[in-house]
Structure formats: C-alpha cells, structure tokens
C-alpha cells in the first residue's frame, strides 16, 4: 500500500502539465485505475480483512485526489504567471478613442430657435402632421380656389370609397397649430409652432418635406411694431450680430396687413453674410392676424389682435452654417454629417439668454 501511495504522489509531484496530470488520475483513481481495482478485491476478503483494508484504501484514494487537486491549482497558477510574463498591458497609455455621433444641423438650429423665443416669452406648441381640410385651409381664411389647395402644391390623403368628406392633407404649414392652440387656450397667447411640413416641390431650395417654425402673439394692444421688434431681437440673437429688417407689403390670406421680411446682408464670392452690407434677403412672411382667423380660433377680433410669422428652419441653417443645397439635409452620406454636424456638448440651452 505504501509503495502504491509513494508511486502516485511522486508522479503527481513531477507532472509538468495538466494533460500528464489527467493521465496519472486515470491510472490511479479512474474506473480502471490501480486503486479502483484494489477496491474491487475487498469482496474476496474476509470481514476482518475488509475492516482493515477498506479504510486504508479510502484514505489512499482521498490523499491521491487531494494531491491531484493541489497540483492542478499549482499548474494553473504557473500557466497564468507565464502568460503574464509574456503578455502585459501598459495601463498608462491613453484609451482607444471611439467615434462620437453628431447633432444634425436642423436639430441644432431648432434648439437655438426654442431657446431664443423662450427668452422672449414664447411657449412651444405642437400639432398633428396629418391635418383635416378645415384646420389646414378654411380656418386660415384660405379660399377654396386658392392655388395652395391644388394637388400640384399639396399632398392629399386617400379616402375610402364612398367617404364624401374632404380628404385629409399632409399639413402644408404649422399654422393649424395656431388654430388648435387658440381653441384650447384662448387669449392672450404667445407661442411658436415648429415642425415638419409638406409641399409638392423639389429643387435646390425646396424639398417635399421641410421644417418650419411659425409664431403668434395675441393681446389687446399688439401692433406691427411689436412684430418688428421680436423679429429683430430673434435674428440678432440667432446670427450673433445686430440684424436690420425691412418689411415689404405683401398678401397672405391669414394676415392683414401682410409683409414679407428681409434681413440686411452682403453677397461676396457666392456666399451671403447676414447683418452687414447693402443687400437684402427675404427670410419670412408675417403680418397682423386676419379677423377671420381669430374668429376660427374662438377669439373676438373686436377685443383682441395679434401678429403671426413663419419661416423655414432649414433655410436658417443654410444661412448660418453655409450649407449650399437644401437637399443635402436629407443625404444619407455620413461624411456630410461629420462635416456639418455638431458635438452634443455644444447644444444650446435656455440658460444662454439674449440681451436686448
């Protein structure tokens, strides 16, 4: 018994790898190992011999298993030490950089617009992009024969066969939000209505879907002078320089009087700079809200009056950041977004403020 013990303990001690150790385990305590064979011989012994040999064989088996387990741990530790000696990591090296996403110029400009108008006391209102005919046209004093209601300018939704109601439309402006807000909140009121709008048009400065922001302020003593001040404050804050505006008489069904608004600019080498020079660039339409529009919103035009304006967010982004083609906003080329995109850390907040 002692010879068997010394044989296997010595072999275990001298094992150089786990494969050799496994062979020793099978030879010693496997199902066909020497210790297992001796355990089977217990059946041929007398009870007195079994009482002597049984405990000895169990003790031998336990001792060999313990030696095997200890040697396995030692071999694993040695393998790890060898690997650590060969492979090492310099923890003082800088980490591997990961490419960061950027904020789309439309999102950036939208946030700038929200922040500036918030400082001017305007809340943000939203509405559905699929509108009914009344909110999109009738409530805004747009006549049935107006060109804007034709299919060459507006996307109409299909009605089921037999449904005689006027078809819904993809909203052509965010003006319906003004009607909905007036009906919900009444006067006085001061809001901007940003969002996607849709028109059947496509070229370098027009796309079938674009982003618009409209503004509205209603009170008892509001005038065109208030409108001019708000717009000049906005453009000065947005472009970061004093911006002069010029109002030109125009016509819109939903305002009376109506005006198209130009900003002072300079053209040089095919680029435009806002806030300086002797040229002018049209940027939006505006005016005093038509009495019929106020009535549609449930507001008495004999007691209240207000101004409204609307401008394209996409075009503002083009002007401020020198983007030459409106269609590029919808390009899937990531190189474009890496060039024109903005770091998330640079997103404007309401804390930025403007100063008049």
Geometric angle at alpha carbon 291, from 287 and 295, rounded to 5°: 130
- Asked whether 29 and 65 are in contact (CB, 8 A), the reply is yes
What DSSP letter does each residue of 54-94 carry, written as one string? HHHHHHHHHHHHHHHHHHHHHHHHHHHHHHHHH----TTSP
- Asked whether 248 and 259 are in contact (CB, 8 A), the reply is yes
Q: Calculate the CA 265 to chain-centre distance.
A: 33
Of 226, 231, 325, 238, give the one whose Cα is nearest residue 282.
231
Residue 257: Cβ within 10 Å count: 14
322 DSSP assignment: T
Residue 87 burial by Cβ neighbours in a 10 Å radius (0-12, 13-18, 19+): exposed
Q: Please enumerate in sequence order all residues whose Cβ is within 8 A of that of 302, keeping only pairs 6 or more positions apart, or say none.
A: none
Query: Does residue 232 have a known ligand-binding role?
Result: no
Give strand ranges (E) for the chain: 123-124, 130-131, 169-170, 189-198, 209-219, 245-252, 255-268, 271-274, 279-289, 305-312
Q: Would you call 50 helix, strand, or coil by DSSP?
A: helix
Of 103, 139, 1, 109, give the one whose Cα is nearest residue 57.
1
The H or E element spanning position 28 is helix 18-29
Residues tagged in the binding site annotation: 256
Residues tagged in the binding site annotation for Mg(2+): 256
């Amino acid at each position: 018994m002692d010879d068997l013990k010394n044989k296997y303990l010595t072999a275990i001690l001298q094992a150089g790898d786990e494969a050799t150790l496994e062979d020793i385990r099978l030879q010693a305590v496997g199902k066909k190992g020497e210790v297992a064979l001796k355990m089977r011989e217990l059946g041929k012994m007398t009870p007195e011999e079994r009482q002597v040999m049984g405990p000895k064989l169990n003790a031998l088996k336990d001792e060999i298993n313990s030696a095997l387990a200890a040697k396995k741990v030692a071999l694993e530790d040695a393998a790890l030490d060898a690997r650590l000696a060969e492979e090492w990591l310099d923890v003082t090296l800088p980490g591997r950089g990961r490419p960061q996403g950027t904020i789309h110029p439309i999102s950036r400009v939208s946030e700038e617009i929200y922040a500036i108008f918030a400082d001017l006391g305007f809340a943000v209102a939203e509405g559905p992009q699929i509108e009914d005919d009344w909110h999109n046209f009738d409530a805004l004093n747009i006549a049935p024969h107006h060109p804007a209601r034709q299919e060459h300018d507006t996307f109409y939704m299909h009605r089921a066969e037999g449904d005689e109601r006027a078809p819904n439309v993809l909203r052509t402006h965010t003006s319906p939000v003004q009607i909905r807000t007036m009906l919900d909140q009444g006067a006085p009121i001061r809001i901007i209505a940003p969002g996607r709008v849709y028109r059947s048009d496509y070229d370098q400065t027009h796309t079938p879907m674009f982003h618009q922001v409209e503004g509205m302020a209603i009170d008892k003593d509001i005038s065109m002078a208030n409108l001019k001040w708000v717009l000049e404050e906005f453009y000065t804050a947005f472009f970061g320089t004093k911006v002069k505006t010029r109002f030109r008489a125009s016509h819109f069904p939903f305002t009376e009087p109506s005006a198209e608004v130009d900003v002072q600019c300079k053209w040089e080498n095919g680029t435009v700079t806002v806030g300086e020079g002797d040229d002018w660039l049209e940027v939006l339409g505006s005016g005093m809200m038509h009495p019929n529009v106020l009535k549609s919103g449930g507001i008495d035009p004999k007691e209240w009056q207000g101004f409204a304006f609307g401008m394209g967010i996409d075009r503002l982004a083009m002007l401020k950041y020198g983007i030459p083609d409106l269609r590029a906003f919808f390009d899937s080329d990531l190189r474009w977004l890496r060039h024109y995109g903005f770091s998330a850390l640079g997103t404007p907040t309401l804390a930025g403020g403007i100063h008049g």
